[in-house]
A and B are shown apart, each in its own frame.
Chain A
Amino acid sequence: MLNRRDTLRGLALAVGVASTGWAERALAAAAPAPALSWTPTALTADQARLIDVVAELIIPATDTPGAREAGVPQFIDRAVGDYYDKAQVDQLLGGLARMDADARAAHGDVFVALTPEQQVTLLTAYDQEAGVARGQGQPHFFPALEDMVTVGYFTSEPGATVALKYEPVPGAYHGCVPLSEIGRAWATR
């Protein structure tokens, strides 16, 4: 694991996490992870708590609700139970195990116990690593998790109706409307 740890540190330095604006905003928005308010059915409590923390880093609460408030961790727990195939479950759970292993190797504790800065540094490294893997045609757990959080969030009621705009029965079509009058992307097509 030594090599991986060095790689992660190197990647984090290379992308200059501390100096990027988005990361600062993400850190500012990140609150200490509360205890789980629900009981997972497919995940273990530790896995669910880790997903809860990572989901909120992927889609943090801002002026609109974040992944936690939108129930994304529960959404992923359900997907693990009845939607994912074995390869997807293995990829996700393997990724979760790796995050804790990397956290321990770098900082001596599990991922959820790290500071938000340390967590973001690790995620940034995974994101970069996934870009390399993509170029080589290799699967990577992190983009799959990011996508699942994104789907869970924007198809949730808060995601669709607060972060986006949702109109179940539009009643009419207007083809040329200033974006400023609508303000956000439509939740559905």
Chain B
Amino acid sequence: MANLSGRARRKNTYDAIVVGSGITGGWAAKELTQKGLKVLVLERGRMVRHLEDYPTAVLDPWQTKYPQGQLPKAELDAHYQVQRRTGYTMTEYSQHFFVKDDENPYTEENRFDWIRGYHVGGRSLTWGRQSYRHSPIDFEANAKEGIAVDWPIRYEDLAPWYEHVERFIGVSGQAEGLPHFPDGHYQPPMEMNCVEKAFKSRSEARFPERRVSIGRAAHLTEPTEEQLSLGRTKCQYRNQCIRGCPFGGYYSSNSGGLVAAERTGNLVIRPNSIVTELIYDDKLGKATGVRILDAETRRDEEFHADVIFLCASALNSAWIMMNSTSSRFPNGFGNGSDQLGRNVMDHHLGVGASGEAPEFADMYYSGRRPNGIYVPRFRNLGDEATKRTDYLRGFGYQGGAGRPTWDRGLGKHGQGAAGFGAARKAALSQPGPWSMGLGGFGEILPYEDNRITLNRDVKDQFGLPTLSFNVTMRENEMAMRRDMQAAAVEMLEAAGFKNVKGHDSGYAPGLGIHEMGTARMGRDPKTSVLNAHNQVHECKNVYVTDGAAMTSASCVNPSLTYMALTARAADHAVKARKRGDL
């Protein structure tokens, strides 16, 4: 740094740097600033301010530019070849919260659906908001089964941090008292509708071990003083969350963590700052900062800090580490184990069943509940009764019942009824028949050869290397999928639903948008990248607290665990820094 004047260096020096502003970056920023550290948050994308930058949040159906907010095919073909794969992300309502694929290329040795948003708040603006704790059996499974490596922590280590996170973000849900589905701190649960209630009582009568609960969702149903003071209010049941919530009804970095961090006066957010590498000082034996590429000026710049938190998402945090080579780390930062970029996991989905409930034709609902029902895992719980011989681990179901509205009339011509006229208009002005669906979310095991690698042959718009993906499903996952479909059919049939149909619409890795595992935690530096506190084994002042840290995937939605790991790691970092250990 000989060419950097002392003053410039001081100007660019903070106590801590947080890379990324999504669901974990927001938490790192909040915890570190509230504990008194001066924090710089580096975000590769543009600024998105809560309320101000949700341009579609209150659009009525007749105010969209295009029919139903659907984008023209030419635009989808040109920019969103990957982002369109979910079927719901690429609309006029939310396109500004997802990347353009042509500007952000990657290589699919095997298909990988990498759905992402580069802006302040990241995917915390568009997440599914389901918030479950990993259970004790999740943390023990690798060790018990001899899979991959053991988690270096247990449920008890994380439990207080789950509670800490739940109290701040606000989670509505129902305590169930199941050991394999730990309860948290909940605001009042959302209501099930008639058909879901009937499903619950009838299915549980036949399958008591398959509990049917309301989804645990990061929505405020009884906001606390703290949440209100941040400007958040009760969920208004609009179900337009993906556009950004004008009520702060669901948790996002933008409405929560970043607001709390800003109020300490200790936060600086620098958007358009692509962190390209960690700077490692051989003499000091630690990282001294990060190098960025300013996406607007296209100039490099360096920032310095005692502590660095990588919260850039599992794949991009791994990318930064792989791109940070030095004489100390020739194969990527902290990668003495050669585990960096390996063990890519997600949750496999797209399989389940649905059925109809004609006996409730005179009942309906009001409000648009941004949440469904949840059936926690009921396989392989450690006892003989739930043990499967055909696969390890398990799955949960998310689902719900509803009545289709007018758009059930689309694409239905030539199936008997006339496609036009007053009778059709009258029919479509009434709700259609009740149906209920269950969709599985299954655990994917960590496989060393499910990996991403740095690809220096394919460059992005900034001339930076890109990622190459080779991630596939294996026998364990395929066997689980068969059971996911069969058990869903079984439950709907037991509950008396009509016209029950199983489905498996297929799944490609990534589509769960829960990518994780690329810098796993573990006890041994030879076989893992991070230690029990999310510190890089080989460089203790760098913490990685996003999905990269996950040693196994569980089958529950992971964001709550990422947030809890982040808060726990931030507490550790502040104490270690105070002791002079970093």
Q: Which of A58, A160, A189 contacts B421 (CB 8 A)?
A: A58
User: Which chain A residues numbered 172 to 189 have a C-beta less than 8 Å away from chain B?
Assistant: 172-182, 184-189
Contacts of A25 in B (CB 8 A): 421-423
Complex contact B197–A124 (CB within 8 A): no
Q: Is B283 an interface residue (CB 8 A)?
A: no
Set B61, B192, B407, B419: member contacting A142, Cβ < 8 A: B419
List the A side residues contacting B429 at CB < 8 Å. 64, 163-164, 184-185
Contacts of B418 in A (CB 8 A): 20, 22, 124, 127
Binds A, one of B38-46, B409-417, B445-453: B409-417
Cβ-defined contact, B365 with A143, below 8 A: no
Q: A163 touching B364 by the CB < 8 A rule?
A: no
Q: Smallest distance from the beta carbon of B433 to chain A beta carbons, Å?
A: 12
Would you call B193 an interface residue if the criterion is a C-beta within 8 Å of the partner chain's C-beta atoms?
A: yes
A149 to B60, CA, bound (A): 18
Q: Is A123 an interface residue (CB 8 A)?
A: yes
**Do residues B62 and A182 form an inter-chain contact, with CB atoms below 8 A?**
no
In the complex the two chains form, is B238's CB within 8 Å of A169's CB? yes
Identify B422's interface contact among A29, A143, A160, A178, CB under 8 A: A29
Contacts of A172 in B (CB 8 A): 237, 366-367
Residue of A64, A175, A180 touching B194 (CB-CB under 8 A): A175
Is A176 touching B238 in the complex (CB atoms < 8 A)? no
- Which residues of chain B in 44-70 are interfacial with respect to chain A, using CB atoms and an 8 Å cutoff? 58, 60-62, 64-68, 70
A174 CA to B458 CA, complexed, in Å: 52
Residues on B with C-beta less than 8 A from A188 are 61, 239, 368, 405
Distance between Cα atoms of A21 and B425 in the complex (Å): 14
* Residue A135 at the chain B interface, CB threshold 8 Å: yes
List of B residues within 8 angstroms of A91 by Cβ: none
Contact B68 A151 (CB under 8 A): yes
Contact with A along B475-518 (1 / 0, CB 8 A): 00000000000000000000000000000000000000000000
**Which of these binds chain B: A36-44, A45-53, A75-83, A101-109?**
A75-83
In whole angstroms, what is the CA distance A174 to B191 when docked? 7
Q: In the bound complex, what is the Cα–Cα distance between A174 and B364 (angstroms)?
A: 9
Contact, CB under 8 Å: B430 / A85: no
Q: Which of B364, B419, B430 contacts A146 (CB 8 A)?
A: B419
Chain B residues lying within 8 Å of A157, measured Cβ to Cβ, are 60, 62
- List CB contacts (< 8 Å) of B272-299 with chain A: none
Chain A residue nearest in CB terms to B430: A185
A-side interface size class? 35 or more
Cβ 8 A contact of A131, one of B67, B237, B415:
B415
Closest residue of chain B to A127, judged by CB?
A: B419
Tally A-B pairs: CB < 8 A.
Answer: 196
A143 to B413, CA, bound (A): 6
B384 at the interface (CB under 8 A from A): no
B35 in contact (CB, < 8 A): no
* C-alpha gap A75/B369 in the complex (Å): 30
What's the Cα separation between A169 and B197 when bound, in Å? 25
> Complex: how many Å from CA A82 to CA B92?
14
Q: Which chain A residues in 16-67 approach chain B with CB under 8 Å?
A: 20-23, 25-26, 29, 57-60, 62, 64
Known pairs A131-B413, A151-B410; A146 contacts B420 (CB<8 A): yes
Complex interface bits, B336-365 against A, C-beta within 8 A gives 1, otherwise 0: 000000000000000000000000011111
CB of B500 to closest CB in A, whole Å: 22
B421/A130 in contact, CB under 8 A: no
Known: A60-B425, A155-B62. A82 touches B236 (CB 8 A): no
CA A66 to CA B390, docked complex, whole Å: 57
**A-B contacts, 13 listed (Cβ < 8 Å):** A23-B421, A29-B422, A57-B420, A85-B73, A123-B420, A127-B419, A130-B414, A142-B419, A143-B413, A163-B429, A184-B430, A185-B430, A186-B431
The list of the 10 closest CB pairs from A to B, nearest first, reads: A131-B414, A173-B367, A175-B193, A22-B423, A170-B367, A143-B413, A58-B420, A155-B61, A134-B414, A176-B194
